[in-house]
Amino acid sequence: MGKPSKWKCYTCRVEMEKVLDISVKFRKFNLPKAEGLRCPQCGVQYLESDYVAEQVSPAEEILSGK
Ligand SMILES: [Zn+2]
Q: Tell me: the pLDDT tens digits for 39-56? A: 999 999 888 765 544 444
pLDDT computed for residue 55 by the predictor: 46
CB contact at 8 A, 24 and 59: yes
Q: 15 alpha carbon to ligand 1 midpoint, in Å?
A: 8
Can you tell me the distance from the alpha carbon of 54 to that of 12, in angstroms, rounded to the nearest whole number?
26
**Ligand 1 mean position, distance from CA 11 (Å):** 5
Mean per-residue pLDDT, 57-64? 60
Q: Name the pTM for this structure.
A: 0.56
